[in-house]
Amino acid sequence: MYHSVADVTGPADDPYQVTVTPARLERQLSWLRHRGLRGVSMDELLRARAAGRGARLVALTFDDGYADFVERAVPLLRRHGCTATLFVLPGRLGGTNEWDPLGPRKPLLTEDGIRAAADAGMEIGSHGLRHTDLTTANNEDLARDTAHSRELLRSITGREVAGYCYPYGTVDARAVEAVRAAGYGYACAISPGPLTGVLALPRIHVGQSDTGARLFLKQLLHRRRREPVPTAAYTQYAAYVAAQSKTAPDATMPGTTAPGTAAPDSAAPDTAVPS
Ligand SMILES: [Zn+2]
């Protein structure tokens, strides 16, 4: 789980630790490659796992839809043969991260920026309309945040929107139900505990201090700290994809436009985790 890719001069610059420098991201992507792993969108990872493949794939996600994603992250991802999922806020197009009171203010992508990311082969998912914590939202806001953000993104990209990402990683059973009702096929959280499943996937935060050694340790701890994703999650996602293509045969599912979608078939141990 990444957020912003930009130059950082010190910790005071980045109180929420949401920024990695392009140089650090480059080293992290190299680290994956040297271990025989490849970063892909969440859609591609889930499809591959459903087909019994994907042991060497790691899902890369970027939350909030910062403008720097297109300028700084996309060129590095492409250079390393990776794709990723970008979770954006269609209620704050061209705005800033006003939900972080300490700042610094970072510009968010416009409609054109979101299309540029999609055209570069990245999956676009919803992070809600305006970065609202779903566990404290009223029923009306809950439905709007999930369903309306999905409609807006579909009209911006012209593609189906399969993924949702809970702002702040906070999730409860009511939020999961709203995400399901809005028509998403998967949703990302951080540490969803007993809710862990296709609509509450665990992820690991990756930051500027994450060297290869720290990433290795985080991967080990992830398995102890978080509940495993049940195998049923992958078959549920495959069923969702099949149902979507039946009800909307002309709609483009997110994974169908990503370059390099052929996942390496591998019998290697399952070392990759949604991150
Ligand atoms: Zn966020």
Q: Is pLDDT at 253 greater than 90 in this prediction?
A: no
Q: How far is the CA of 274 from the centre of ligand 1 (A)?
A: 17
How far does Cα 267 stand from its chain's mean position?
Answer: 25
Confidence of residue 209 (pLDDT cuts 50, 70, 90): confident
22-64, pLDDT tens digit by residue? 999 999 999 999 999 999 999 999 999 999 999 999 999 999 9
Average pLDDT rounded to a whole number, residues 137-147:
97
Q: How far is the CA of 127 from the centre of ligand 1 (A)?
A: 7
Q: How far is the CA of 267 from the centre of ligand 1 (A)?
A: 35
Q: How far is the CA of 269 from the centre of ligand 1 (A)?
A: 31
The DSSP code for 10 is S
Confidence of residue 154 (pLDDT cuts 50, 70, 90): very high
The burial of 47, by beta-carbon neighbours within 10 Å (0-12 exposed, 13-18 middle, 19 or more buried), is given as buried
Percent of the chain with pLDDT over 70: 90
Within 8 A by CB and 6+ apart from 170, the residues are: 133, 134, 135, 189
Structural domains of the chain, ranges and CATH numbers in brackets: 4-257 (3.20.20.370)
Q: How far is the CA of 33 from the centre of ligand 1 (A)?
A: 27
Buried b (16+ CB within 10 A) or exposed e, 68-93: bbbebbbebbeebebbbbbbbbbbbb
- pTM of the full structure: 0.90
Q: How far is the CA of 64 from the centre of ligand 1 (A)?
A: 5
Within 8 A by CB and 6+ apart from 246, the residues are: none
Please report the pLDDT score of residue 8 as a whole number: 84
Within 8 A by CB and 6+ apart from 66, the residues are: 3, 4, 5, 6, 97, 106, 107, 108, 109
Q: How far is the CA of 250 from the centre of ligand 1 (A)?
A: 31
Hey, what are 195's tokens? 């809710």
Hey, what are 51's tokens? 């087909």
Q: How far is the CA of 190 from the centre of ligand 1 (A)?
A: 11
Q: How far is the CA of 249 from the centre of ligand 1 (A)?
A: 32
Q: How far is the CA of 133 from the centre of ligand 1 (A)?
A: 10
Please report the pLDDT score of residue 46 as a whole number: 98
Which one, of 239, 219, 238, lies nearest residue 37 by Cα? 219
Give the DSSP letter string of 41-87. Answer: -HHHHHHHHHTT--TTEEE-EEES-BTHIIIIIHHHHHHTT---EEE
Protein residues placing their CB within 5 Å of the ion ligand 1 = 63-64
Q: How far is the CA of 14 from the centre of ligand 1 (A)?
A: 14
Percent of the chain with pLDDT over 90: 76
222 near 204, Cβ under 8 Å?
yes
More confidently predicted of 247 and 143? 143
As a whole number, the mean pLDDT across the chain is 90
Q: Is pLDDT at 182 greater than 60 in this prediction?
A: yes
